[in-house]
C-alpha cells in the first residue's frame, strides 16, 4: 500500500523489534501475576494484539472506547465514553494500551476515573508519544517511540477513520 501523501516514519521491522522489547519488559515486570490489558479502541487494536501475543504472563482483555477527537486533528478537550469496560477492574493488575499520547487530555481524564474502581495496579503502555504536544501531565510507564509533532497514521491510527490498516506508522502530509 503506497500513498503519495504518507511517508514512512516507523517501519514494520522497527515496530516488530520494539514491540518485542516492550513485551519482554512487561513480562518481566508482571512475573507471577495475571495482567488485564485494557485496549483503548480503535487505534490500539493492532498494537494491543501484537504486544499481547508476545507477553508471557497470563493476559485478560477488556475494551474501552473513548473519544476526545471529532473529525479534526485537534483535541476538543472533552472525554466521551463511547464503550464502557465489560467487567469491573477491582483487584486487577491493569495495563492501559494506547496508540498515542498527544495532549495527554484523554489519559489525564481516564486514569483518575479508572483508579476510583480500585485496581490492584494501574499502568499505561503507549506505542507512540508526542511529548512536545503535552498540555495535561500524564505518567507513561511503557513507551514504544517518541515521535515529533506530526500527524501520523497507520498501525491502527487513523485520519477520519482512514489508513488504520497500514502496516507501518507514517506521517500524513496535508498539502
Ligand atoms: P490526547 O488526548 O491528545 O493525548 O490524544 C489521544 C488520542 O488522540 C489518541 O488516542 C489518538 O486517537 C488521537 N491522536 C493524537 N495524535 C494523533 C496522530 O498523530 N494521529 C492519529 N491520531 C492521533
Ligand atoms: Mg483517532
Dump pLDDT digits (tens) for 124-150: 999 999 999 999 999 999 999 999 999
Q: Which atom of ligand 1 is nearest to the CA of 102?
A: 4
Does residue 70 have a pLDDT over 90? no
d(CA 90, CA 35): 13
> What's the confidence (pLDDT) of residue 4?
87
C-alpha cell at 92: 486487577
d(CA 128, CA 68): 17
What separation in angstroms does the CA of 91 have from each of 33, 70, 140, 159? 12, 34, 21, 36
The catalytic residue positions are 102
pTM confidence score: 0.94
> Which residues, judged by CB distance below 6 Å to any ligand atom, belong to the binding site of ligand 1?
43, 68-69, 75, 98-106, 151-153, 157
Amino acid at each position: 500500500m503506497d500513498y503519495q501523501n504518507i511517508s514512512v516514519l516507523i517501519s514494520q521491522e522497527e515496530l516488530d523489534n520494539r514491540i518485542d522489547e516492550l513485551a519482554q519488559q512487561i513480562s518481566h515486570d508482571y512475573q507471577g501475576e495475571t495482567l488485564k490489558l485494557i485496549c483503548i479502541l480503535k487505534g490500539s487494536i493492532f498494537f494491543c494484539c501484537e504486544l499481547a501475543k508476545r507477553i508471557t504472563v497470563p493476559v485478560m482483555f477488556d475494551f474501552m472506547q473513548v473519544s476526545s477527537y471529532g473529525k479534526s486533528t485537534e483535541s476538543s478537550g472533552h472525554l466521551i465514553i463511547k464503550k464502557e469496560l465489560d467487567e469491573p477492574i477491582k483487584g486487577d493488575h491493569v495495563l492501559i494500551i494506547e496508540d498515542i499520547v498527544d495532549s495527554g487530555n484523554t489519559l489525564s481524564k481516564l486514569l483518575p476515573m479508572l483508579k476510583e474502581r480500585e485496581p490492584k495496579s494501574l499502568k499505561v503502555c503507549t506505542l507512540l508519544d508526542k511529548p512536545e504536544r503535552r498540555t495535561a501531565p500524564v505518567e507513561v510507564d511503557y513507551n514504544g517511540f517518541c515521535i515529533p509533532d506530526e500527524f501520523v497514521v497507520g498501525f491502527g491510527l487513523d485520519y477520519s477513520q482512514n489508513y488504520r490498516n497500514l502496516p507501518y506508522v507514517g506521517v500524513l502530509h496535508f498539502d
